[in-house]
Amino acid sequence: MRNPSPFLIVFPVGAALFSACNSTAKSSKEAQTNQKPNVVYLISDDLGIGDLSCYGATKISTPNLDRLAGQGLQFTNAYATSSTSTPSRFGLLTGMYPWRQENTGIAPGNSELIIDTACVTMADMFQAEGYATAAIGKWHLGLGPKGGTNFNGLIKPNTQDIGFGYEYIIPATVDRVPCVFVENGRVDGLDPNDPITVSYEHKVGDWPTGEENPELVKLKPSQGHNNTIINGIPRIGWMTGGKSALWVDEDIADVITNKAKDFIIDHKDQPFFLYMGTQDIHVPRIPHPRFAGKSGLGTRGDVILQLDWTVGEIMHTLDSLGIADNTIFVFCSDNGPVIDDGYQDQARELLNGHTPMKHYRGGKYSAYEAGTRIPFIVRWPAAIQPGKQQALFSMIDVYASLAGLLGHKLPEGVAPDSRDCLETFLGKDTIGCGYVVQQNLNNTLSIIQGDWKYIEPSDKPAIEFWTKMELGNDPEAQLYNIAQDPSEKTNVAEEHQDIVKKLSSLLTEIKER
Ligand code: NG6
Ligand code: CA
């Protein structure tokens, strides 16, 4: 049974504290008084818990995110469901563990839409509550029907078939073709006389590839990434056509930030849900010239500054419209950090003592802590007391918690794995969500409860082939006391067989639900 929400009827608004600086701000503010809160959910890509100054980074400064954290609730024990992007985002938007469904691994750029249109997503829930909804930026959950996306003409189904009224998206990742934006089911700027062909199996067309023409690339691959060269960068997958629609890598942050701002401005007088995925800080890390060289940590650091700028722009937009108080602003990452993820961008050489993983073991792809332990910040000036939240929390629980906030009853079977942890989400309690389940690249599951973390036995490789990341796979069960041993140095499964038994049974029970 879901807990009844204390916010069912009246939404608190900090009206008295607000001083509007222009007439637009005043009228929007009035329109928003006593209205359901807006929700901005900004999910960054591959950002580590050690990458932000509010989480202790000293070699880089992220003032806007620090301000967001200072005005909101900063989680120190929050997790993504998965250590890669596609499953992590799938879990967030559906409230179902991605490992319950096949085809939720890292999606190619021409994957079908992997969320069933019959699924009631978090965006559907907001729409049913009268919200204007949008998906802007990195998507990576596929588009179109089974058999591969046709990027010419209207792509159906798209995000508008799963609850988003407006979409302006990067279909997959910035290192995957096609390198174009899709707006409401159509490739933005496509010339119909120059149709797009995409393949993840073989070369299409005659555009140069990294493999055949390495002399043409401006950013060399370190792993994979040697197919079609777009803007001097060799990508994963082959494409041809759509020349007029190709994005400019340096401008992506500006483009999606402007689209997000426009959506907020257009919907300032009604409740809205904006789901925004930044391409930062995924590879290829291509900062706009105004950020290039500014971090002193190479391009990986520069795109952290670019991400911080994006967050600042969204915050300023909310402030200037006078709607920041009534807006729940969630910021997080989709999975843990990685230093070299496929391009020779000198990320490792230029770290200069910076620690994206902090003291946690593993990173992106891994079952160890740095794989899924993420920065997670929730700001809602009208109802959240600023502070730190140390309770255990998982992104899987965002959906039911927000439904609980709105008093929206989720029918049986909808968001089946999402729990209403609203009180923890808002910092009203420190109880947390009891346990969290995480998934690594190979679908090896782990579960954390209290001080203990159990990783199920797995015959999959111990090390990820390309990045050499420790995956956390081991044929033996692993148990760590993450309160005493947060770096997971000592497997104590032998000494605590009772705890292994308890956690493995709980995990089995969750799997069989
Ligand atoms: C891997 C890519 C990596 C990245 C990842 C997906 C290679 C060698 N590596 O297969 O660069 O694209 O997929 O990242 O191709 S994610 O954050 O979107 O899950
Ligand atoms: Ca990612």
Nearest C-alpha neighbor of 337 from the set 392, 281, 266: 281
Please state the atom number of ligand 1 nearest to the C-alpha of residue 85. Answer: 19
- Ligand 2 geometric centre to CA of 467 (Å): 14
Output the six-digit token pair for 286.
């291509």
Ligand (nearest to CA of 335): 2
Closest residue to atom 10 of ligand 1, CA basis: 106
What pLDDT does 17 receive? 30
Mutate to test the pocket of ligand 1, among 81, 88, 170, 173 (most ligand atoms within 8 A of CB): 173
**CA–CA distances in Å: residue 179 to residues 139, 236, 240, 289:** 13, 11, 10, 20
- Ligand 1 geometric centre to CA of 298 (Å): 20
Closest residue to atom 16 of ligand 1, CA basis: 85
Mutate to test the pocket of ligand 1, among 222, 238, 466 (most ligand atoms within 8 A of CB): 466
Closest residue to atom 5 of ligand 1, CA basis: 106
| Residue 35 burial (C-beta neighbours within 10 Å; 0-12, 13-18, 19+) | middle
What pLDDT does 15 receive? 34
Classified as helix, coil or strand, 234 is strand
Please state the atom number of ligand 1 nearest to the C-alpha of residue 172. Answer: 18
- Ligand 1 geometric centre to CA of 341 (Å): 7
State the Cα–Cα distance between residues 480 and 493, nearest whole angstrom: 7
Closest residue to atom 15 of ligand 1, CA basis: 224
What pLDDT does 148 receive? 86
Please state the atom number of ligand 1 nearest to the C-alpha of residue 364. Answer: 17
Phi, psi (rounded to 5 degrees) for 4: -70, 145
Give the bridge partners for 448, in sequence order.
Answer: 436, 453
Ligand (nearest to CA of 210): 1
Closest residue to atom 7 of ligand 1, CA basis: 224
Going along 109-230, which residue ranges are E strands? 132-138, 166-170, 182-183, 186-187, 197-199, 229-230
Provide the ipTM: 0.99
Classified as helix, coil or strand, 23 is helix
Phi, psi (rounded to 5 degrees) for 43: -110, 120
Torsion, Cα 66 68 72 73, to 10 degrees, reads -60
Closest residue to atom 4 of ligand 1, CA basis: 341
Asked if residue 292 lies in contact with residue 302, where contact means CB atoms within 8 angstroms, the answer is yes
Please state, as a whole number, how many other Cβ atoms lie within 10 Å of the Cβ of residue 355.
18
Alpha helices in 180-278 (DSSP H): 252-266
- Ligand 1 geometric centre to CA of 397 (Å): 26
pLDDT in tens, 124-164: 999 999 999 999 999 999 999 999 899 999 999 999 999 99
- Ligand 2 geometric centre to CA of 12 (Å): 35
State the Cα–Cα distance between residues 149 and 156, nearest whole angstrom: 9
Please state, as a whole number, how many other Cβ atoms lie within 10 Å of the Cβ of residue 101.
15
What pLDDT does 34 receive? 64
Amino acid at position 132, single letter: A
Ligand (nearest to CA of 336): 2
Asked if residue 102 lies in contact with residue 365, where contact means CB atoms within 8 angstroms, the answer is no
- Ligand 1 geometric centre to CA of 201 (Å): 16
**CA–CA distances in Å: residue 53 to residues 70, 79, 351, 510:** 11, 19, 15, 36
Give the bridge partners for 234, in sequence order.
Answer: 229
Residues whose beta carbon lies within 6 Å of some atom of ligand 1: 45-46, 84-85, 106, 140, 173, 175, 223-225, 236, 282-283, 335, 341-342, 466
State the Cα–Cα distance between residues 508 and 350, nearest whole angstrom: 43
State the Cα–Cα distance between residues 64 and 309, nearest whole angstrom: 7
Asked if residue 152 lies in contact with residue 185, where contact means CB atoms within 8 angstroms, the answer is no
Q: Residues of the chain whose pLDDT is less than 70?
A: 1-34
Ligand (nearest to CA of 468): 1
Whether this prediction's pTM lies above 0.90 is answered by yes
